[in-house]
Amino acid sequence: MRRREFILALGGAAAWPLAASAQQADGIVVGLLHSGSPDDQVSLVNATRSGLEEAGYIEGQNLKIEYRWAEGRYDRLPGLAAELLNLHVALIIAAGGSDPARAARNATSTIPIVFVTAADPIKTGLVASLNRPEGNVTGISMIGSTLEAKRLELLHEMLPQTSTIGVLINPKYPAAKAQLQEAEEATARLGTKLVSQNASTEREVEAAFTNFVQQQAGAVLVCNDPFFGSARERIASLAIRDKLPAMSFRREFAEVGGLLSYGARFEEGYRQAGVYAGRILKGAKTTDLPVIQPTKFELVVNLKTAKAIGLTISESFLLRADEVIE
């Protein structure tokens, strides 16, 4: 989203603290802890607000939301979680990977926490059970980090002659090792060569694409990671520049010029987090709210990008898409 659009959507990121301070002091206060940056999360935050409104909680009326953004610096999360505790929030919504929820849980064992994460919440230690989470933590699992094999299969189906596939991974993401293992196993099954590149900054992303070209990768999989979600426009432009078919995990990637995306709708997950937060504020216990998982995954194809990189996509593959951007 462009800066002007963001300002129109929310009245400007700079206005958020001012709006928060102007909210009535007797309203319920909840914290929103996120690993990303506000300008990338406009639609997702709006979806969370929508879920809260379904329970009767409206920001600026009977609800105050304290926003804390790590701006991609995961090491800031524990300090930001501590700030929210000092504000005596009634609940924390932790999103953008499992690290925000882990930081919140390490900070408190009593304040309810509702997470939104694409990593496996059991493997990352957020909950011991999806059906009956223990303690003060529950939330939404988008299953994004366990779909890398499926994304590779879709790339291979679209480009059966491609012998080498590049994989972009953020080594700072908690599920990075599992993602790489899944990608290696998938490419072995498909009979293709895998070229992996680590990147956790925009400069490293640019270097990774240079290496993909040098190693003659025929396509690129961008693994699930909040940072890559924030950098989607730059990643899409690099892929177009290098004429590399690229697949990512959020539909917004295809919307800003990426070739393909496959995954659950993140907006729906964030809305459900708002719904859960509202139910807890009304008295529900986290232990009675099972972790929600998506049941629908969508494939989005950007035909404009396919034409820009000189790629012809078969009609049979396009028929599999849930949405085609023309």
What is the enclosing helix (H) or strand (E) of 51? helix 42-54
pLDDT at 23 over 70: no
Q: How far is CA 152 from the centre of its chain?
A: 18
CA 201-193-297 angle, to 5 degrees, is: 65
Q: Over the stretch 160-212, which tens digit does the pLDDT of each residue have?
A: 999 999 999 999 887 788 899 999 999 999 999 999 999 999 999 999 999 99
The span from the CA of 162 to the CA of 165, in Å, is 7
Residue indicated by tokens 């925009």: 202
Distance from C-alpha of 92 to C-alpha of 113, rounded to nearest angstrom: 5
Confidence at residue 24, expressed as pLDDT on a 0 to 100 scale: 41
pLDDT above 90 (res 92): yes
Q: pLDDT band at residue 295, thresholds of 50, 70 and 90? A: confident
Closest by Cα among 61, 79, 57 to 69: 79
Residue 10, pLDDT score: 43
Q: Within 13 Å and on the Cβ side, how many CA atoms surround 274? A: 24
pLDDT in tens, 30-89: 999 999 888 888 899 999 999 999 999 999 999 999 999 998 888 999 999 999 999 999
User: What pLDDT score does 227 carry?
Assistant: 87
